[in-house]
Structure formats: structure tokens, C-alpha cells
Amino acid sequence: MVTPDGDKITMKIRRGLYIISTFFVLVSVLIAGCAQTTTTTTMTTLTTTTAQSGNELQLRMSVNAVILTSGEPLQINVSEFNTLPTNNNVAAATNWRVNGIAIGACPNINVLPFGVAVFQGHYDARNISQGTPLELFGAVPCPQLMRLITGYDFLPNSNNAAIMPGGDLASPTSMSATETVKGTYPKGIQLTPLTSGIYTVVAGDEWGTMEFLYINVN
């Protein structure tokens, strides 16, 4: 025969077990929620960026838009600017930190100290070495020559410089370029428009400076 006191004890035990089981269910849900990590990429609205080099030069880059439709050209402007109020004679270097940096389809005849590259996806200085640059230029025959360049003598507060040796400050070369990207050439010949997604636009110079901008193709 069960007494009233026994019934009360049984009810307390059942209630306690229910509270304990509910507690463990809640803990399990919280643990599962914490284990799920969501990575989000925040798109910026920057169309221009500037980075200072150790040699008193500035690497400058801009794009025509941060949102493009597929097939709409991407225009990349890049330049090297002397920030000094005096001439700045900078020795040439080979400290390229980004793979695939180029100006034009024949980088071996490029006399400018910088280049650009485009990567599909979101990259920055920490992981750009893991990316693969897109083929921005079609296959063309390139002359088998390379000019010896020992440095650049920049005019004061200018992106004009004489390319050394043999350069003349009376008729300097503009240290600026514009690349228009209409798509990629994955097989070297056939132009393929950029597909939807985020792209990283990179400019880099031979002194190790890097610049990053991001576009979204719809």
C-alpha cells in the first residue's frame, strides 16, 4: 500500500528527473549551436586605395565600380607616385609578393614597376598566396627581349619618372596604366565573361607593396 508521503516522494523524484533531462537537452542544443560557425564576407564600397612604400612612393589603385553585371568591363587604374617634393631615385627590385602580377599580355617587355591581377573569391595579404590569378590576357606572340632596368628617377610630387639607365627627365615615362578586363582567357584564346561572385583585384609593385579592392559581379 502506497502512503500519501510515498506519493509525494515519487512525484518529487519524477520532477527532479524531468528538470535534469531538460537541462541536458538545453546544454546539447547550445553546444551544437556553438559548433556551427558561419563565415561571412563583408563587401566594401571602396573604389580607390593607396599604400605607402618604404621608398617614399605611393602605390595607387582604383576601379570603375564595385558592382558589375556579367559582361560589363572592369577598369583598373594603377600608378606609382613620388610623395617627395624633390627628385626620388629609387633602385629597381624584385620583391614581387603576388603571383600573376602583370601589365599587358607580354610582361617581359613591361617597363613599369607594378602590375595587376584578379582572383575569383575574397583574398587579402594573409592568404593571397593560396589563390590562382585569372588569365586576363589572350595568348599573343611576345618579342624575345627584356630591357635592363636599374632604377627609376621620379620627378617631385609626380608619377612621371626616367627609367634608368638611359632615361631622360626632360621626357619622362608616366608610371601609370589602365587595364580593362572584359573577362578571362582560360584557354588563351576564347574570352569568357566573369561569372557571378566576389573578385579580388590586386595591385603590386616590385618593392613589395600590395593593394586590394573587391568587386561583386551579378
Please compute, for residue 50, the number of CA atoms within 13 A of its CA located in the half-sphere on the CB side: 8
**What is the number of domains present in the chain?**
2
User: Do 199 and 177 share a structural domain?
Assistant: yes
**What is the pTM assigned to this prediction?**
0.77
Strands 67-68 and 210-217: parallel
User: Do 23 and 59 share a structural domain?
Assistant: no
What residue numbers bound the domain in which 13 lies? 1-38
Contact 175/152 with Cβ under 8 angstroms?
yes
User: Do 191 and 85 share a structural domain?
Assistant: yes
Element (H, E) at 26: helix 4-35
Please report, in tens digits, the pLDDT of each residue of the chain (218 residues total).
445 554 554 455 455 544 444 444 333 433 444 444 333 445 557 899 999 988 999 999 999 999 999 889 999 999 999 999 999 999 999 899 998 899 988 877 889 999 999 999 999 999 999 999 999 998 888 888 778 899 999 999 999 999 999 898 999 999 999 999 999 998 778 899 999 999 999 999 999 999 999 999 99
